[in-house]
Chains A and B, each alone.
Chain A
Amino acid sequence: MKFISCLVFIVCTGTTSVVYGASSNDALQLAKQLYDRPDGKDRASFGYMVLTEAGHKPRVRALYSYGKDKSYYDIWSLIRFTSPKDIEGTGLLTRDEKSADSQQWVFLPALKRVRKIASSRKGGRFVGSDLFYEDLQNRIYTKDQHKILGEEVINKLPTTILESIPKNARDSVYSKRLSWIHRPSLTALRIDYYQGGSQPIKRLTVNKLAKKQGYWTVMESVVKDLKTGHSTVMRIKHIAYDQNLPDSLFTTQTLEDPAKEVAFRPSSITKK
């Protein structure tokens, strides 16, 4: 299904994919297959992002992430930062819905307010990382035209190269994405992002993949800005699937009260 909950997840599978077979129909079917990738009815994870740049001290952002598939199109997610201190407690609640535009609220502890914000934002950097807001969104595969460019081995793993071009250019900050899809895990091991031009501006590479509760999970990946060299490492420390997360977790009540989510934090579930 969809993969809003885990940041690493989202980025690695946020593009649609295709497998072997050359027809565009195959491409579309397999794009759908990636969109339908098994990731449980709900998921909760704890991980961190490390923002690195040559000559500068790395910066770390730790966060909890929760996601729930309400239906095939309707996906709810909640992200809560736990460090550094200046953004501790900041929360982002997103409800992706087919029938309407996505709704998004942010909770800023300093303001002590829940604020409605425009979910159409795509191009800004998420907490200073190399992820754009679009990378966090649940992008349905029908928004792109897909084409298989061939097959390639990445790090000795067989992959299929998929070109995905938005049908509506204004619908995405990217003009094109090339994804190297590892078929057994239905995961993009590498994604090159283009913003016009022939050279990619950004590259995602998966470092570590593991099965957790039967679901392939990207445990570590890196997004690198190919112009500046700035990169963001994303790593999941704890993850738990199918806890039957309640709908109340994805309300503005929980958004403004982090204590409400403590019972669903994955570390308390995966660790004895």
Chain B
Amino acid sequence: MLLTTTCRILLGCTVFGAGGMLWAEATLPPYRVFLTESEALSEVEKSRNLGVRTNITTQRMKRVQTQLFIGPYYNKRSARRHAEKLQHQGMPAIVTLDFSSSQFLIRVGVYSDQQRLSAYTSQLHRLGYSNQVQQQKSYFQTLYVVTLHSPKQKTATTEIVDNNEPSPINEVVLASEEMVDDTLEVISSPTSDEIIVTHSAPKEEGERELIVSSKEEAVTLDEDDEQIIIVEQSADSALTADSSHEEEIIIESDEELTVSSEEELSESIIVDEESEEIIVAAELGPAADEAIVVADSDMEIVIDQETLADLDVGTPSAFDPSLKLDVSGGRLPRSKSLSDYYFYSLALATLQYQWSNQWEVKTGLRLDASKQEDISRSDFSLDYAENYIRYRTDHYRLTLGSQIVLWGIADEVAPTDQVSVQDLTQGIVPRWQDRHRAYPMIRWEYFRGDSKWDVLWMPWFRPAEIPDDEHIWAVANKARGTLFGFAPNPVQQVLVQEGHIHREKSGSGGAGMRFSQKAEGFDYSLTAQRIRRSFPYYQLSEPVRQSLLINPFDPYSAIAQSDDTWLEIHPYTWIVGGDLAFIYKDITWRFEGAYSSDRPATEVDLSVNNYPSYDWVFSGEFYPGDGDDRLNLQLVGSYLDTDDKLIDRKRLYYLNGQYEGLYANNRWRWRMRFNHGLNLHDDFISSEIAFLGWEPHEFYWAAHLFDGSPRSYGGYYKNNTIINFGWRGEF
């Protein structure tokens, strides 16, 4: 049948090949096929002048073609001017953006014919573009099919696709929506660049069918002759595609592809973004007859000339390596600083591999290096980061290995966040989320909808990561003889400088459980933990304490009483708490509180006891002016519930917060953090200005200022006020 039809139509076909233009004509030609869009448009114009309605469809097939460019141009206006000049010369010039260089190029056509390419290249040389001509090969060919008839019209409603839920408001009728129900089948033969197009749907009266085949009875495309023979089964056939399914068809491989209306077959469609199907000159004007009618049978519309070149942005793979680097150097301007200069660098490498939807593994390592002027040596420390294996199902997730888990919702001081390991090697200069180390644990998470149970067990206790005793950020600073949280005095100074600190690292870290729920309008969580805090508390060993009680002004004798002057302790404590978050007046309000059964504190007789305590944070986060700035303000309180006389502070109240603003189209960022003591002079202000314009690099300038009473955090690090310059990047 195909042969018969082909022969019948061949009799009525006249094939023309002139220059680079390829088009086929039947006795009553329903199509024109072109290799360039400008020629197709010209044909549209010509047909309309004759009163024939037209539309354009496209087909692509595998074929080597060469794109001709000139450029680059730094200025789009300049590129446009040159493009117009070339258009006046009869050249198909359009402006495109070359992403890799951020510059503009003028594309002077796409050529599969070497002679035409040479001709245009020569012409460009003659026009003085010798040094700018570039050629790029690609492997697709676009055919522009001008259909010389009006597509069938149908009336459609909003339920064009019936799997969309109908509007409950009312029904609206669309006027004259074009719907074509036929199925288009395309078969490609890569060896001869031929295509077969057939209709599988029943033909209606007046409807046509186009067959293009690699066999001699169908349409053939001969690269050498640049001719297409279109074989029609009837005089008024139409090249149509199923309007309810994929309409972009690319035949690009050596295998045959069949595109049909069957949904399960749609997977074989390979979408390529590079090809431009219909390019229409950028014009704006009143509605006129020249407007192109876009039918449903049109497969793809490329509207703007200045479309972006396709980028190599791939989807993420199962392997996800990552490297985070941070290098900074700073000056400590205070005259009492232990060091005038301080340098720090961090390299954190991780590799995550998800080999199935259930299994995932992550491994990571970090290297910290620091150097301060007064210490001749440099400090290097190698540490494990997150190293775990994870198994998940629809409802639970089990993770074994070292992890960083941050419970709670408040920043900087989250009362229920006691299951993470603090990293104090840089004081509080890094942001809160960067001040944690991985903790070996077993974690089981159970999910049900928006609720979650989270259970942790830390079989091996890991204390907070603290710097060496001579480090400027030391918690027990031997150089100064100071201890964090205590006002310095001469006896303590000797005890710290001359004494020995016993570090407690053994035992289990405890366990914890947290239930969280995302409810209607608010989120909340409840937690219960039996854990050991990572941050140490310093206690005098009993022989030393007894000695000091007898002779409080002879620290040397006291030190001699024991090998260990100080004990770093991490007592077990129960923690029961919760948090709540809700939105009110465009502000995210957060409240978090916790009761702790055993918080160590030192009495006036230097003995250490555990007391119940309460910690809470109330915060509001909002975007001033509904812009790019974010501000989070927190009111923080802590209360030791005892009537005993303590050396420690019983009540602490703070106002702290973070501000982040983005400027100059997010190329600059200003971050600020502050902490202000409300019942004791205690101030910390950190301000960082970063240039983000060269991703993934960040260059920053930061100033961290400390001030306050000697018992306060700001006072303890007062002489560590530092001005930093640095670079960080993530790859």
Contacts and interface: CB of A to CB of B under 8 A. Distances in A.
Interface of A: 1, 19-20, 29-30, 32-33, 35-36, 38-41, 46, 48, 50-53, 56-60, 62, 69, 71-72, 82-86, 88, 100-101, 103, 105, 108, 110-125, 127-128, 151-158, 173, 182-185, 189, 205-215, 219-220, 222, 225, 228, 230, 233, 235, 237-238, 242, 248, 251-253, 257, 259-260, 262-263, 265, 267, 269-272
B582 to A, nearest CB: 7
Interface in B595-639: 621-623, 625-628
Contacts of A157: 280, 291-292, 294, 301, 303
CB-CB nearest 10 A-B residue pairs: A128-B666, A214-B244, A123-B626, A85-B730, A211-B247, A253-B447, A210-B300, A207-B304, A151-B287, A156-B280
A113 B286 contact: no
B163 A242 contact: yes
A110 B434 contact: yes
B543 to A, nearest CB: 44
Interface string B164-182: 1101111010110110000
Nearest to A35: B167
B339 interface: no
B205 interface: no
B665 A123 contact: no
A207 B307 CA distance: 6
Given A72-B167, A153-B288, A58 B315 contact: no
A57 B423 CA distance: 36
B224 interface: no
B267 A269 contact: yes
A116 B582 contact: yes
B18 interface: no
Nearest to A46: B315
B699 to A, nearest CB: 14
A235 B271 contact: no
A32 B433 contact: no
Interface residues of B, number: 110
A118 B164 contact: no
A39 B384 CA distance: 48
B693 to A, nearest CB: 6
Given A152-B284, A219-B300, 7 more contacts: A85-B322, A103-B518, A157-B291, A184-B295, A205-B303, A207-B302, A207-B307
A38 B160 contact: yes
Interface in B292-325: 292-296, 299-304, 306-308, 310-311, 313, 315-316, 320, 322, 324
B683 to A, nearest CB: 25
Contact of B307 (A53, A85, A212, A220): A220
B86 interface: no
Given A209-B303, A210-B301, A156 B281 contact: yes
A35 B169 CA distance: 12
Given A124-B626, A214-B244, A100 B304 contact: no
A86 B247 contact: no
Interface stretch (B329-337, B375-383, B403-411, B530-538): B403-411
B646 interface: no
Given A84-B696, A125-B628, A153-B291, A222 B304 contact: yes
Given A58-B99, A184-B295, A207 B303 contact: yes
B161 A158 contact: no
Interface in B660-701: 662, 665-667, 693-696
B606 to A, nearest CB: 40
B201 interface: no
11 contacts: A32-B167, A36-B172, A115-B581, A120-B586, A125-B666, A127-B666, A154-B303, A155-B303, A183-B175, A211-B245, A220-B308
A59 B313 CA distance: 12
A46 B627 CA distance: 27
A253 B449 CA distance: 8
Contacts of B263: 213
A214 B167 contact: no
A257 B392 contact: yes
Nearest to A253: B447
B168 A72 contact: yes
B204 interface: no
Instruction: Give the one of A50, A105, A112, A265 with max B CB within 10 A.
Output: A112
A124 B172 contact: no
Given A20-B175, A152-B287, A208 B301 contact: yes
B284 A154 contact: yes
Contact of B248 (A83, A211, A271): A211
Given A33-B158, A124-B623, A158-B287, A110 B433 contact: yes
Contacts of B696: 84-86
Contacts of A120: 583, 586
Contact of B284 (A83, A121, A153): A153
A125 B394 CA distance: 35
Interface string B422-437: 0000000000011000
Contacts of B500: none
A266 to B, nearest CB: 9
B243 A271 contact: no
B164 A184 contact: no
B40 to A, nearest CB: 12
Given A117-B588, A189-B303, A252-B452, A259 B360 contact: yes
B294 A182 contact: yes
A128 B306 CA distance: 22
Given A86-B730, A153-B286, A219-B273, A184 B357 contact: no
B643 interface: no
A133 to B, nearest CB: 9
A103 B581 CA distance: 12
A253 B395 CA distance: 9
A246 to B, nearest CB: 9
Contacts of B287: 151-153, 158
Given A153-B283, A222-B304, A259-B357, A84 B695 contact: yes
B290 A156 contact: yes
Contacts of B295: 184
A230 B667 CA distance: 11
Instruction: Give the one of A35, A85, A155, A182 with max B CB within 10 A.
Output: A155
Contacts of A270: 267, 269-271
B520 interface: yes
B241 to A, nearest CB: 8
A42 B273 CA distance: 22
A159 B302 CA distance: 16
Contacts of B662: 125, 128
Nearest to B698: A86
B240 to A, nearest CB: 13
B245 A213 contact: yes
A35 B167 CA distance: 9
B397 A111 contact: no
Interface in B539-598: 581-583, 586-588
Given A156-B292, A211-B299, A265-B315, A38 B623 contact: no
B281 to A, nearest CB: 7
B57 to A, nearest CB: 12
A36 to B, nearest CB: 5
A173 B626 contact: yes
A203 B303 CA distance: 15
Contacts of A50: 99, 308, 311
B392 A212 contact: no
Given A69-B165, A122-B626, A29 B292 contact: no
